[in-house]
Chains A and B, each alone.
Chain A
Amino acid sequence: MKEIKTSGNKYGMVIDLDKCTGCGTCMVACASENNVTVRADESDKERSIAWMQLYRINNGEKFPKTQTGFFPRPCMQCDEDGNGGHHSPCVSVCVSTATKLDQNTGIVSQIYTRCIGCRYCQAACPYHARYFNWWDGYSYFKPFPDGLERSLSPEVSPRMRGVVEKCSFCHHRLMRAKDAAYAQGRRELEEGEYITACAEACPVQAITFGDLNNPGHKVSELIKSPYAFRLLEKLNTKPKVYYLSSKEWIRRMADNYLPGEQVKGVKL
């Protein structure tokens, strides 16, 4: 399955699961970067919002062979099928064109002011990367106690009730980086000038971010690793988020395999 080459950049992410410690800093960084609302009961996982969601997995072995691992899950920024086929699962179904794939960035956008909250995109996304605002984030029924709203960033607009939101690859950081570059009369961004809040925050540097279209970028090198794989690759959603793991049981968790089927990546 060869990827379609988008005209400009194609931003992507590689998450090294051998490094990931499950600390959750990426989730907190994302929430705080993107004005994600928080409710008193965040244990209601069906309705809480987490653009970056941490899934804990378990090798199922009995004590003391048990091992756990983690899948940090941002939006996969699914791409269209290069073979003239379908579009990103969510983009193709959105009724009001509130979400779209930018050929120049490879990023799947979400414009809240456009979304009508029909949630068709949520049904279409197999990664549960899309979150609906079931409550008024800030209103009289606000989960934010007095004062907390003082930490809201003006770079990302707070969402209103009744719309869907999701990871934007910290799109405003791209805007920020571009502005800085333009100010210096540059059109192209250097590697590392635009990185996402989660990649920046990860204390073990498990997340690498860059332009998959640029062979010079570290991500382009990493995805060649025999350990590299993506979530649900078989569905041909063309995610731009890659994972690395030397452990086969973890790679097996990334996709559905028929009995006896060879798991993607080298066997240990």
Chain B
Amino acid sequence: MDPKDKKITERLGINRRNFIMLAVGGAIGTALSPLPWKLTDDIAIWTQNLPWVPVPATGEFSYAKSVCTLCPGGCGIKVRKVDDRAVKIEGRTDFPVNPGGICPLGMGGLQLLYNEKIRFTSPMKRVGARGTGAFQTITWDEALDTLAERISGLRDKGNIGTLAAIDGNHSGSTMPVIIERFLKTLGSPNYMRMQTSQDTCETAAYILTGTRGNVGYDLENADYILSFGSGLLEGWGSPGRVLNAWGLWKSGDLRDSVHIVQVEPRASNTASRADSWVPVKPGTEAALALGIAHVIIKDNLYNSDFVEKYSFGFDDFKSADGVDHKGFKTLVLEKYPPEKVEEITGLDAGDIRILARDFANASAPLAVCGRGKGALYGSLYESTAVLALNALVGGINRKGGIFINEPLSVAGLPVLEPDISAKTALDKGRIDRAGSSFFPFSQSLFNNLAESVLKENESPVDTLLVFSANPLFTIPDAGDFRKALDKIPFIASFSPYRDETSMVADLILPDHNYLEKIDDIASPAGLQYNLYGLSAQVVKPLYDTKNSGDAVIELAKKIGGPAENAFPWTEYEQVLKARVEGLYEIQSGLTSYDGSSPPWQRSGSIVSPSYSDFDRMWEEIKENGLWYQQPYTSRDIEKTFKTQSGKFEFFSSLIASSLNGIDTGALGIKASGDEICIPHFEDASLKADDSFPLRMYPYELINLSSGWIPNPPYLNKTLLDDQLKKDQSFVDINPDTAEQLGIKHGDMIFIESPQGRIQALVNIFEGAMPGIVFMPLGFGHSAYDDFLRGKGSNPNEIIFGGKDPLSGQTVWWDTPVRVIKA
């Protein structure tokens, strides 16, 4: 050390000794001061108020009444709000459909409203390549002008017939009406609505009863429910209402008196919770229904009163032209003895007999159909068979039976004669040939559409409008439709969501979210009484979106001419109101419900309306979102049958006349002669093939949205870890089948059909029918956000089936597949 420094340090008196003293003393001093304690406390408080943990703003609490339109269920909901924020959705006890409860999807609705990542926040036009999802924000004017010009162009060039619309809105509601009206007035016949099992059942009812209306099921009053694959607990019909009925069946005395039978190849929730489970081979349900009919007829258990008074074609008959015809009875007795049905369905003949007798001996037996949620069309002949089964026990328009209702008597919109150019275009006929003499019993055939688009080198569809639908994800056609879309020059999507179809669209005209808009539900699916639900604007629209109803009206005005004339209204609400005027005419029906007497109890004689004039009625409906009628009012059995015979037709004169001179083989009908006109079983499944020894059956879950509506994140919590694991969904396989295939639980496998392959993890499930692999619908999105994208596989991608006889739809419930270990 340098001597100078030494001096300094010494002068300062800093040597090692007192330096240490200083340090130690200082430390002790600080420790005893309040400082450390204060700091400790402060940072602890900080952890209790971490700045990034949100403090939800509080404010005035209120409830907004509305109706959920996420599915055709039409449940009453009340939304709890804090100032302008919606914070909770709850079921309404003052609504007859779902007294109090709602389904998981409806409960998760707020995550559809507020999740910015799955919504379009303004109109957009595509800038990048299709499917890349590269869009650019534009104004509504620009969006509507672009579309108006394109459509006018088509009309001027005389090929307005290349304009088409796909609509996922619920049947009977107002949107389908104005969208079809928009197309028709311009001259395009190509309005296509996504087909549900509701449509199939209504067509079946039309074929046998001549009434095209709503098919209602009086579940609450039935005491023996025979469900042909209907997912009563998977979201079938109006889930809010069906689940409520389920609760009633399991309460009090009904607990023992009501019997529920589920016909389904897999131990679904419904099958497991039902009183008995009848596992049939997929696609053979009709055979079972007719086998049951066979036993009922043979044992003389059928309702002779109904059959004699109200039915035609039960017994053999001679037609006007003097030809002898076989009747339902003969055919069923010939063709469906239990032993034969045993071969077809794989059920035990004895069990079938017992089932038939129990069904017939029940005081209010009810057979229902429509696979799973009923969100996808079903088999037409199967529906007629099930309807015939109900008729056989007299269960048509009878307490506890099936109700064939007139369509809700909303007012039609003023009719407009299409101008000449429109007429000529309309006469060219639909691209999908639905409703033509070839497919007289279908309203829309997407398989045909895809086929013709792919067939011709120039797409017969130039401009496609998509409303409330995500066909790219939901159509069971192994992606043919996607290929078709790629060929369609211009696609405009009105979806509020960034779904798969929107991602390939050229123009986005986003609708409001269902909680931001007024819209209607006319007769929730399967409800046995007339009900009109009106949703309210629960929260002010969050973004630059537009009610598609208003968008269509503005579009019409921009196009001008006949379109403008067809849409004299300034806003969508006026259209709704105009239609409701029809309900006013009836001069009956209620606009509020207090829970005291559920409509299905039909305690009420016809109640005189609470409103004096129409405007008052409209206000009441807007306030409660509700108009409904007690059942039985306006229903008597003679009026129901508008067939040629004026009766319920076991032998359909409608089929006879429509298929007269048509090559029924082209319709996929194998039967011949009289049988074609009578409910019967058609084996539509493709012949067993050694290279594809297994069958794939898609199934649905009530807690996984599989349709156009994206699955709210909260619903992911409810999925079990043998349904989704990380990014892989599972396929249910019977232990024995798995053993033969040499695969075990958790293995990654490819499910391969002639149309392609998808992968999944193996879930060994005793409740799966051997030889069939079961895959949930709703997984495998490529759009939306991290909560949905890339999770699991979509069975629709490998669907491969023949055509459903009579309807001409693709069979989606029976795909030949093979399984390969990945």
Asked whether the complex places CB atoms of A and B closer than 8 A, the reply is yes
Q: Quick check: A204 and B243 within 8 Å, CB to CB?
A: yes
A27 within 8 A of B: yes
Q: Quick check: B88 and A33 within 8 Å, CB to CB?
A: yes
**Smallest beta-carbon distance B770→chain A, Å:** 7
Q: Quick check: B717 and A32 within 8 Å, CB to CB?
A: no
Residues of A near B718 (CB, < 8 A) are: 24, 27-28, 54
Partner of A150, one of B59, B85, B720, B721: B85
Per-residue contact bits, chain B 509-540, to A (CB 8 Å; 1 contact, 0 not): 00000000000000000000000000000000
Partner of B269, one of A21, A61, A138, A160: A21
Give the nearest-CB partner of A246 in chain B.
B255
Give the nearest-CB partner of A55 in chain B.
B720
Q: 8 Å CB contacts to A: which residues of B89-130?
A: 89-91, 98, 100-104, 107-108, 110-111, 113-117
A152 within 8 A of B: yes
Per-residue contact bits, chain B 226-255, to A (CB 8 Å; 1 contact, 0 not): 000000010000011001101100110001
| Stretch touching chain B among A5-13, A41-49, A183-191, A235-243 | A41-49
Residues of B near A157 (CB, < 8 A) are: 55
Q: How far is the CA of A140 from the CA of B50 in the complex (A)?
A: 12
A86 within 8 A of B: no
**Smallest beta-carbon distance A209→chain B, Å:** 13
Q: Quick check: B90 and A200 within 8 Å, CB to CB?
A: yes
Q: Quick check: B787 and A40 within 8 Å, CB to CB?
A: yes
Q: How far is the CA of A36 from the CA of B55 in the complex (A)?
A: 14
Residues of B near A262 (CB, < 8 A) are: none
Q: How far is the CA of A138 from the CA of B53 in the complex (A)?
A: 6
Q: Quick check: A19 and B246 within 8 Å, CB to CB?
A: yes
Q: Quick check: A63 and B279 within 8 Å, CB to CB?
A: yes
Q: How far is the CA of A205 from the CA of B713 in the complex (A)?
A: 24
**Contact A113-B48, Cβ < 8 Å, known A16-B250, A150-B114, A160-B53:** yes
Per-residue contact bits, chain B 197-216, to A (CB 8 Å; 1 contact, 0 not): 00000000000000000000
Per-residue contact bits, chain B 327-364, to A (CB 8 Å; 1 contact, 0 not): 00000000000000000000000000000000000000
Q: How far is the CA of A206 from the CA of B273 in the complex (A)?
A: 13
A83 within 8 A of B: no
Residues of A near B726 (CB, < 8 A) are: 41, 43-44
Q: How far is the CA of A207 from the CA of B116 in the complex (A)?
A: 34
Q: 8 Å CB contacts to B: which residues of A114-158?
A: 136-140, 145-154, 157-158
**Smallest beta-carbon distance B88→chain A, Å:** 6
Q: How far is the CA of A139 from the CA of B251 in the complex (A)?
A: 46
Residues of B near A66 (CB, < 8 A) are: 267, 272, 765-767
**Smallest beta-carbon distance A73→chain B, Å:** 13
Q: Quick check: B719 and A43 within 8 Å, CB to CB?
A: yes
Q: Quick check: B250 and A19 within 8 Å, CB to CB?
A: yes
B132 within 8 A of A: no
**Smallest beta-carbon distance B734→chain A, Å:** 6
A29 within 8 A of B: yes
Q: Quick check: A24 and B702 within 8 Å, CB to CB?
A: yes
Q: Quick check: A31 and B717 within 8 Å, CB to CB?
A: yes
Q: 8 Å CB contacts to A: which residues of B779-797?
A: 785-787
Q: Quick check: B86 and A154 within 8 Å, CB to CB?
A: no
Per-residue contact bits, chain B 140-177, to A (CB 8 Å; 1 contact, 0 not): 00000000000000000000000000000000000000
Q: Quick check: A63 and B734 within 8 Å, CB to CB?
A: yes
**Smallest beta-carbon distance A38→chain B, Å:** 5
Q: Which of the four size classes fits the interface of chain A?
A: 35 or more
Q: How far is the CA of A28 from the CA of B719 in the complex (A)?
A: 11
Q: Quick check: B246 and A64 within 8 Å, CB to CB?
A: no
B661 within 8 A of A: no
Q: How far is the CA of A161 from the CA of B538 in the complex (A)?
A: 33
**Smallest beta-carbon distance B172→chain A, Å:** 23
Q: Quick check: B272 and A23 within 8 Å, CB to CB?
A: no
Residues of A near B712 (CB, < 8 A) are: 28
Q: Quick check: A203 and B98 within 8 Å, CB to CB?
A: yes
A68 within 8 A of B: yes
Q: How far is the CA of A151 from the CA of B725 in the complex (A)?
A: 27
Q: Quick check: A64 and B716 within 8 Å, CB to CB?
A: no
A69 within 8 A of B: yes
Per-residue contact bits, chain B 767-811, to A (CB 8 Å; 1 contact, 0 not): 111100000000000000111000000000000000000000000
Q: Quick check: A25 and B102 within 8 Å, CB to CB?
A: yes
Give the nearest-CB partner of A141 in chain B.
B52
Per-residue contact bits, chain B 36-77, to A (CB 8 Å; 1 contact, 0 not): 000000000001101011111111000000000000000000
Residues of A near B56 (CB, < 8 A) are: 35, 149, 152-154, 158
Q: Quick check: B102 and A58 within 8 Å, CB to CB?
A: no
Q: How far is the CA of A31 from the CA of B721 in the complex (A)?
A: 18
Residues of A near B269 (CB, < 8 A) are: 21-23, 68
B614 within 8 A of A: no
**Smallest beta-carbon distance B240→chain A, Å:** 6
A102 within 8 A of B: no
Q: Output the residue of B104, B113, B117 with the most chain A CB within 10 A.
A: B104
Partner of B717, one of A21, A50, A201: A50
Q: Quick check: B786 and A28 within 8 Å, CB to CB?
A: no
Q: Quick check: A25 and B53 within 8 Å, CB to CB?
A: no
A234 within 8 A of B: no
**Contact A200-B100, Cβ < 8 Å, known A42-B717, A43-B725, A154-B57:** yes
Residues of B near A58 (CB, < 8 A) are: 766-767
B444 within 8 A of A: no
Q: 8 Å CB contacts to A: which residues of B560-598?
A: none
Residues of B near A137 (CB, < 8 A) are: 53
Residues of B near A145 (CB, < 8 A) are: 115-117, 785-787
A97 within 8 A of B: no
Q: How far is the CA of A160 from the CA of B714 in the complex (A)?
A: 19
B408 within 8 A of A: no
Give the nearest-CB partner of B279 in chain A.
A64
Give the nearest-CB partner of A64 in chain B.
B279
Give the nearest-CB partner of B765 in chain A.
A66
B441 within 8 A of A: no
B655 within 8 A of A: no
Residues of B near A40 (CB, < 8 A) are: 786-787
Q: Quick check: B766 and A60 within 8 Å, CB to CB?
A: yes
**Smallest beta-carbon distance A31→chain B, Å:** 5
A56 within 8 A of B: yes
Residues of A near B640 (CB, < 8 A) are: none
Q: Quick check: B244 and A204 within 8 Å, CB to CB?
A: yes
A202 within 8 A of B: yes
B488 within 8 A of A: no
Per-residue contact bits, chain A 50-78, to B (CB 8 Å; 1 contact, 0 not): 10001010101111101111000000000
Q: Quick check: B246 and A24 within 8 Å, CB to CB?
A: no
Q: How far is the CA of A23 from the CA of B116 in the complex (A)?
A: 27
Residues of B near A197 (CB, < 8 A) are: 88
Q: Quick check: A63 and B246 within 8 Å, CB to CB?
A: no
Give the nearest-CB partner of A142 in chain B.
B52
A221 within 8 A of B: no
**Smallest beta-carbon distance A125→chain B, Å:** 19
Q: How far is the CA of A43 from the CA of B100 in the complex (A)?
A: 30
Give the nearest-CB partner of B274 in chain A.
A67
B473 within 8 A of A: no
**Contact A48-B717, Cβ < 8 Å, known A22-B269, A145-B116:** yes
Partner of A203, one of B52, B101, B769: B101
Q: Quick check: B255 and A153 within 8 Å, CB to CB?
A: no
Per-residue contact bits, chain A 224-253, to B (CB 8 Å; 1 contact, 0 not): 000000000000000000000000000000
Residues of A near B108 (CB, < 8 A) are: 28, 32
Give the nearest-CB partner of B735 in chain A.
A62
Q: Other CB < 8 Å A-B pairs besides A28-B108, A145-B115, 20 of them?
A: A19-B247, A23-B703, A40-B786, A42-B717, A44-B726, A58-B767, A64-B279, A137-B53, A139-B52, A146-B117, A147-B114, A152-B54, A153-B88, A154-B59, A159-B53, A160-B48, A201-B90, A201-B91, A201-B102, A205-B251
- 15 A-B pairs in the complex with CB atoms less than 8 angstroms apart: A19-B247, A22-B233, A22-B269, A28-B107, A32-B88, A38-B716, A40-B786, A64-B277, A68-B767, A139-B50, A148-B713, A153-B87, A200-B91, A203-B239, A205-B244
Lowest 7 A-B CB distances belong to which pairs?
Answer: A203-B101, A24-B718, A204-B247, A147-B116, A203-B243, A66-B767, A154-B58
